[in-house]
Chains A and B, each alone.
Chain A
Amino acid sequence: MFSKFVTIVVIMFFSFISFGQKEGMALIKGGTYIPLYGTDSMPVKVDNFQIDKYPVTNAEFIQFLKENPKWKKSNVIALYADGNYMRHFKDDFTLNEGENPNAPMTNVSWFAAKKYCECEGKRLPTLDEWEYVGMADEKRIDARSKDDYNKFILSWYEKPNTYSQEIGSTFKNYWGVYDMHGLVWEWTQDFNSVLISGESRKDVDGSSNLFCGGAALGSSDLMNYAAFMRYAFRGSVKANYSIRTLGFRCATSIK
């Protein structure tokens, strides 16, 4: 009797982890790609995984807060979120006038984003997963060498306030994933794995240091420049930072 029970539980357990294309997620077929880590250019293998089709929205985040009051603006501890956390909110559950509930949630720390994903039974995508999905355009898995793809990203960098646009307002890429570029930057699980300038990162006045120096380093063409901006940005943030242009989406592994 007991062992039967165990068997059932174990089966349920495995079916829980192995099946179920989650709603709102796109299946990404793994492969290898050559990332841009400063001077390092070894191919990196990415396994199959799923990623949210859209960034997490303000409205979705409010829902999360209702279920997890510990993460409300008024409750969150300073270790997990700096003073800019949810800055575009009037109070714990209300957005400021003019904010769009369907725009990506920003002003959110890494800790909060991570927690949100955990509560969905997901996790943040790794940096490699994110970059792997992000290199696709509408038709190609890897469009990084295409001029129009790079120009699109770079023109976005110059556009103000794109964080207030609704999710889904940029292109749908090869994988069926929207808004990888064009609305907001996104947290990754291992955002703190960036060492663009080797061991020379200084934590005191780091951001300006890295942002300029790092971004200029070796950026010989548009493709590198667009990616370097992302890497430099990641290298300049800390996990409790909440930034207006930085949102997130979640991912899951496939067993």
Chain B
Amino acid sequence: MKRYIIFSLTALLSFGMLYSCSENEEKEVKEEELETERKEFTGELSELSVYNLPSDWTNQNGEEIKLEDLKGDIVVAVMIYTTCKAACPRLVADVRRIYDKVSDKANKQVKYVFVSIDPETDTPERMKEFAKENEMDNDQWVFLRGDIEDTREFAAVLAVSYKRISPIDFSHSNIISVFDQEGVLVHQKEGLGVDDSSTIEAIEKLAM
């Protein structure tokens, strides 16, 4: 019972936070870059960095993360939903192909991030399963789900369009995006199975 009260209070408080619009101005906590593999960053986040988005996400291991936690890595991002039967498997295959072609040296600095456009269905468990099915169950592959609004916002930055067209299906644009270590969008590729050499080039260049 007590636990329930605490829970509802937490829910209440977090709801209240949604309404206070002056949120996130205070979150000045500076992330420390610990891993030596990552490029170092000092100073302010670029204005164009996607890490300016103050959103909370859950990964396939059920861990709460901020987009900013990806700072320092090169990020290759796509938006999918795991129950998708048509385009997503091909999109996932395209991403895997990019991974295979990128040099080992560069890959050490890359995170491949799949953001769900169907956060209601794509629970951490479901994403984990999907990761396993696709042999992407390690640190290099990140599956994220956020709330509906944050997802919409993330898509807005990526210029990805999507719409639920039936209870189980979405139509969506197939775009693979590459972000630099600071979270600035540097490259996009649209379409399925199209030539990915420029994408690989973009990644390799960032990893140099």
Q: Which residues of A contact B (CB under 8 A)?
A: 3, 6, 9-10, 13, 37, 40, 42, 68, 70, 77-80, 110-111, 114-115, 118-119, 121, 123, 189-190, 192-195, 198-199, 201-203, 235, 238-239
Contact = CB atoms under 8 A, between A and B. Distances in A.
SS of B interface (majority): mixed
A79 B173 contact: no
Contacts of B161: 192-195, 201, 235
B121 interface: no
B52 A77 contact: yes
Contacts of A201: 161, 173, 190
Most chain-B Cβ atoms within 10 A of its Cβ — which of A37, A198, A199?
A199
Nearest to A38: B171
Contacts of A70: 25
A79 B49 contact: yes
Nearest to B50: A79
A189 B152 contact: yes
A20 to B, nearest CB: 13
Interface residues of B, number: 39
Nearest to B1: A3
Interface of B: 5, 8-9, 12, 15, 18-19, 21-22, 25, 47-50, 52-53, 87, 149, 152-153, 155-157, 159-163, 165-166, 171-175, 188, 190-192
A134 B71 CA distance: 42
A170 B166 CA distance: 36
A205 to B, nearest CB: 12
